[in-house]
Structure 1
Amino acid sequence: MTDSVLVAQCSFDLTASSDQADYLVLVPEGVFRGVDGRPFDAPHWLLTPERGRQIVAALNQRNIDMVIDYEHATLKSQVSGEPAPAAGWLKSENFRYIDGVGICSAKFEWLDKAKGYIESGEYKYLSPVLFYNKLGEILALINVALTNTPALDQLPEAKLAAAAQEYFAQNNEDLIMNEFLKLMLQKLGLAETASEQEVLAAANSVFTKIDGAFGTTVSTDQTLAAAIDKAIEVKAAANSQVDPTQYVPIAVYREAVTEAGKAVVGAKTKEIDDLIVAACSDGRLTGQATIAWYKEQAKTNPDFVKAQIEELPKIAALTQRQTEQTNLGGNHQPKTVDDIDQQVSAQLGL
């Protein structure tokens, strides 16, 4: 039990609850105090509908009835060892939260001796034992007692802590199970007030979805973890199957990229070579050193060479034949090769 969790007994007039034929009010909704003015270590006690429903859900998970004892003898007996006879019983699975009223028991039983005490007025108050925090918010209901005076605070602090610790030890399994159930209800998308049938239906629906999604079968003796492992295995196997119509081996892809690159480079190289030949023919490029420089630049920066050559001016005189001898007697002589043709041929290595 942590320092932030406090335990106390408060008292309510039993006759007010006894007038209700259908239920016994155990903890009222809203802000309240004990008949003696407590709590003294919190501004008040507070039970909200949300917290009340949580407490009721936890109480209805118990497999045993809750005792109504005399003067909180059950808690005291953890220290004193004295008997703790029952005055009555609150039946399990019959706790209810009624809006505007609070935590109630819809099925309770007073034993004959307690009935006599109540009818004769020897016991007047119903006293629930509560866990609450320093803000006064109710956290849990431990049990209920018949009492006439608030008696729990008469226990020394150490004994009170020991009694509460003993209660926690006895109910630890129930508390853990309640936390687990709350988690499962949340994961299943259910409210904490869901019935057992609703929980089973939601769980079976989840198992069916797992089977349908991954082709697994959650048998009665198979754990959920095993089903999830099988689903992961099926999914991994499905992902490992490659559609050959959609994918090619990486070696084929790389080869195709390489060949495409070579084709582009080859086309670019031929284009530049043709451009240089044309430029030599029309006089834009002259001189072996100049032509050699452009050819060298074309190896690494063909676009630069292309742009440069296209900007060069053409020399008209070098684009025309300057001499051609004709035999007026009717016999044609071979055409002479002028100096310009020779220069171009020499520069092109022809």
Structure 2
Amino acid sequence: MQSESGGVLTMGEKIRVLLKEMTGVPGEFQVLPAGRIDMKGYGSATLDEAGATEIIAEFARRGLDMVIDYEHQTLKDSQAPAAGWIKALTWKGSDGLWAVVDWTRQASNYLANREYRYFSPVVLIEEASGRIVAMLNVALTNMPRIDNLKPLVAKWNLTGDGEPASQNKAKEIVMIEKLRKLLGLADDAGEDKVLEAATLAVNTAKEAGGKGEVVACREVLEALGAKENADREEVIRIVASLKTPGDVAVQLSHQVAELTRKIAEMNQQDLIALSLKEGKTSPEELDKWGRDLALKNPDQFKLIVLSRPAGSVIPVEGLRVLKDSDPGKMDDAQKSINAMMGIDEDTFKKYNQ
């Protein structure tokens, strides 16, 4: 093998060529970067951890894979075949929001041939703050609106995309170690042995691809965490991500989303109880919009409701004029007022004879 510059390939470069030949398309990709995101024709928006958490929680709540279509056809009144399905979403801090994806055969071919290189997420942006708070779906496209977007399939570059030689060497060492584990080789297996085993895996996958035959030996499947009867596309997807299988990622994502939901509900209950105790809101106001705001945007609830003077809000809906014939009688509205003011039933009746 020779590099694009004409020189002999290093061991790491040979392995990268083999893995590229074997995988072709990514099993995981950065769907939204963290921080400021510039968009053509819109301006800019921001994705922070809170917004990503909302997106992941909604994804988990629905319990459905998120569609990746072609050219946003799902949003149009036309046939919209899927290019792939997002199985899990993960927040990686400064590295943004990532998606684990299962591509269709047609989309895999498009990506492998670089007929599609980019994608475009459909997001909802909070107008006041410019924060991204929801993601509806994703589309394959060659004209993304987001600037400086990482392509799904980059131009193959054996020089490491301009990174320092020390970083390239470190990546080679990590890749070789991962391959040892994936191929079931001993820890002291040399680079030549790793290359030989990787070549065999690639050739086996090529010969068996699409025929329903075994695509790798049992040891390799076990190392990948794949099922014993996994087909070629399943093995390719797992190798492409070089991470835990998607079903584990989905389970972890659901657990994180459930924990996030429970924490948000606990915070909501605390905020509501405090606001009622201090007389800064009413049950009627809470039913209209307060409960929802306390759950989805607790900071804004504190700013709007808890900043009010204590005892400044008295519920008015449902109040009625009591007749002289029923002094001391309480309706639901009066009971709410008494509860906020700390007045028990006996005290109320005593002074309303």
For the criterion TM > 0.5, the same-fold answer is no
Of structures 1 and 2, the larger Rg is shown by: 1
TM-score bracket, normalised by the shorter chain, equals: 0.3 to 0.5
